[in-house]
Each structure stands twice: as structure tokens, then as C-alpha cells.
Amino acid sequence: MIQYLGGSKMESAFSRPQIVFMLLLSLGISNHVFIIPHLIQAAGRDAWISILLGYAVLIGWSFILIRVLKSMGTSLFSDWLHARIGLWGGWMFRVLLLLYILVLAVMIVFDTTRNIDIYLLPKTPNTVVVVSFVLISYWAASAGLKTIVYMSAVLLPIVWLLGIGISIFTMGSKDYGIMFPIWAEGLRPNLNGSVIVVGGSVELLLLLLIQHNMRRPVDYKTLFVLLTLLVGLIAGPTFGSLSAFGPAEAGNMRIPAFEQWRLLMLGDYISHVDFLAAFQLMSGSVTRTALLVHLLPQLLTGRSGKFRQTIMVVGAAIASIPSLLQVSDITMQGAIHNYFYLSSFLFGIVLITGLFAITCIKRKKGA
């Protein structure tokens, strides 16, 4: 197992807070930034109600997830599946999770590089932006989980303080009365929005591939705190975007959370500090891409270092294809809005139900 993990025994033992920091930064960039326009488009001024509904669903879903994690203990996900349902049954779940991770990787590379092009480097060739971003992320992934975890521990407090700061300093530009009345459009938009909230948060399934690197398995208290913080990362910019721009304008923005930085002025002379938002964006995006690429080899058979590196190279290359081909942003965002979040919602429910059923199967003799 130590050889498979590509490091020393010490590298494979992380504390619960360290893993929580990493997941908050890597999963939070999606929940805090990219999910917001889709949520507001779906639910309008009731987006914050959708967050509450989605949170309730996720609480129930998390009870099943923790049952699966407890059954796994410190076993590798692939080994646990093989011991319970055999080689071919295990491959079915592993391939599904592999495809899911690849989709997530494609989305984060596309969203990040496209927003760099829109907001930061409009005159820089697209190929330079995409290749540079993917190479940095691949380097972090190939350096090992220890690098990703320690990188998160350094970056997350800074990113969090910046987020709290922008929320406080722009309060004078916001009108929270815009978020009322509720249910003006009926219940359907709220349900659509809650599907997006749940679909964007079932990425906690990545714990299945990380838990064996922890000193102690995840307990429900840790999972509950992590889930609550991730949902809170959706709520913060949603409240801010609705109260600052209104539901119609915020829904049309590419990144409403980024636009809030343009409202900030420090005194009479200091403005245009949205470069700090670029730091937030890159911190989360590099961590997220590196983690997804790093996890890909776990779902395949080979365990040598060369095999792992090959799989990570191939995964990073696949993730960059839509960005390099310059697929239309309108097409990509339409596909994400109309298909991804609903598919992710269903995937999270079906997969965790199947894994829960596996926990009721006794281990095979000799496994």
C-alpha cells in the first residue's frame, strides 16, 4: 500500500482537520464561485431558500455516506469493493467514479481558464493560459497528496480572510430586502435550485478515495462540519450577489462573486483590488485540479509509480481538451446548467445507495 501511495508511511497519515482544509479549498471553489450563477438562474431571489432545502437533503444523504465510510475503515476503496462484490462488480463502481472525476476536472479547467481569459488576461493566447494552468496543477498532483494538503493548509486561511473581508467592506452597497418576498414564483424554482445545491455538493464522495490516507476514519461530527461549511460557501456569495446586484443581474453575470470585488473601495483613492479575487480563484482551482488528477490512478489497476504518472498525465490532458479546442462558453455553461447538476444529483443518490447496499454484504473469505 505504501508503494502504491507513492510516498512514505508518514505521508499517508493526515489528520481530520488537514483533510477538511484541503476539501474546503478544492470543493469550495466550485460551491463558492462557479455554482452561484446557475443557482440564481434557476431559483432567482429564492436561491437562498433552495440552499436550505438542499442542505436538508444533504444531511440525510450524509448519514448514508458516513455508514459507507465506517464500513471501509482505512481500506483502499478498490480493495474494499473487491472484498465485498468481487472484481467485476468493483470495476463498475470504479469506472463510474472515474468518469465523474474526469467530468469535474474538465469543468474546473474550462471554467478557470475561461475566466482568466475574460477577467485577467484577455490578450494572452488561450493555449498559453490552458497549458500553464494544467502544468502547474499536474506538478502539484504528481508531487503527492502531502503537497496538496500542506498547500491547502497555507492558502485556505488567506482565502477565507479575503472572503470575510469583501463581505464586510461591501455591506454598504447591498440591500438585503431584495431577497424578499419568498416563493413569489412558486415552489418549482426552489426545487430546481436545491437540485443544483445537492448536485454541486455530492463531490464529498471524494472522501471514499481519501479516507485511507487519514490517521483515523472520518466520523459524523467531522462530516457534518465539512458539509455545513461547504453549504455555507454557497450561501455567502449567494446572499452577497442577490443583495448587491438583484436576481436578474446576478443571474446574467459570469462570476457574481468576482464582480463583488469591483464594488470595493478602501478610502477615496484605493480601488480595483479585484486582483485579490484572482488569488482566491487560482488557489482553489489549482488545488481542486491537482486533487482530481491525483485521485485518478486509485481507480485503476496498476500501482507502480510510472503507471500513476502516466494516468495523471493522460487525465490532465483529457481535462484540458475542451479548453484547448475553445468550446463555446455559452454551450458549455448551458450543458452544465441543463444536464450536469441534475446528473450529479442522481449520480450521488444512486451511487451512495449502491455502496450502502454493499455494506450489508459480508466480506469474501480470504479477502
In SS3 terms, the chain reads as: CHHHHCCCCHHHCECHHHHHHHHHHHHHHHHHHHHHHHHHHHHHHHHHHHHHHHHHHHHHHHHHHHHHHHHHCCCCHHHHHHHHHHHHHHHHHHHHHHHHHHHHHHHHHHHHHHHHHHHHCCCCCHHHHHHHHHHHHHHHHHHCHHHHHHHHHHHHHHHHHHHHHHHHHCHHHCCHHHHCCCCCCCCHHHHHHHHHHHHHHHHHHHHHHHHHHECCCCCHHHHHHHHHHHHHHHHHHHHHHHHHHHHHHHHHCCCHHHHHHHHCCECCCECCCCHHHHHHHHHHHHHHHHHHHHHHHHHCCCCCHHHHHHHHHHHHHHHHHHHHCCCCHHHHHHHHHHHHHHHHHHHHHHHHHHHHHHHCCCCCCCC
Contacts with 48 (C-beta within 8 Å, 6 or more apart), sequence order: 179, 235, 238, 239, 242
pLDDT band (50, 70, 90) for residue 365: low
Of 240, 242, 256, give the one whose Cα is nearest residue 179.
Answer: 242
Query: Of 19-33, 83-97, 282-296, where does the model show the most confidence?
Result: 282-296
pLDDT at 70 over 60: yes
Say what the pLDDT of residue 318 is.
96
Percentage of the chain modeled with pLDDT above 90:
63
pLDDT at 269 over 90: no
pLDDT at 11 over 60: no
pLDDT at 5 over 60: no
Say what the pLDDT of residue 124 is.
92
Q: Which residue has the cell 478544492?
A: 26
pLDDT band (50, 70, 90) for residue 12: low
pLDDT at 173 over 90: no
pLDDT at 267 over 80: no
Report the distance separating Cα 234 and Cα 34, nearest Å.
10
Are 253 and 101 in contact, with CB atoms under 8 Å apart? no
Report the distance separating Cα 263 and Cα 272, nearest Å.
9
Question: Across residues 31-56, what is the average pLDDT?
Answer: 92
pLDDT band (50, 70, 90) for residue 141: very high
Say what the pLDDT of residue 8 is.
37
pLDDT at 265 over 80: no
Which set of grid coordinates corresponds to residue 224?
Answer: 457534518
Cα dihedral angle (188, 167, 252, 119), rounded to 10 degrees? -150
pLDDT at 346 over 90: yes
Which set of grid coordinates corresponds to residue 352?
Answer: 451512495
pLDDT at 263 over 80: no
pLDDT band (50, 70, 90) for residue 1: very low
Which range among 85-89, 113-117, 220-224 shows the weakest confidence by mean pLDDT? Answer: 85-89
pLDDT band (50, 70, 90) for residue 367: low
Which set of grid coordinates corresponds to residue 75?
Answer: 481500506
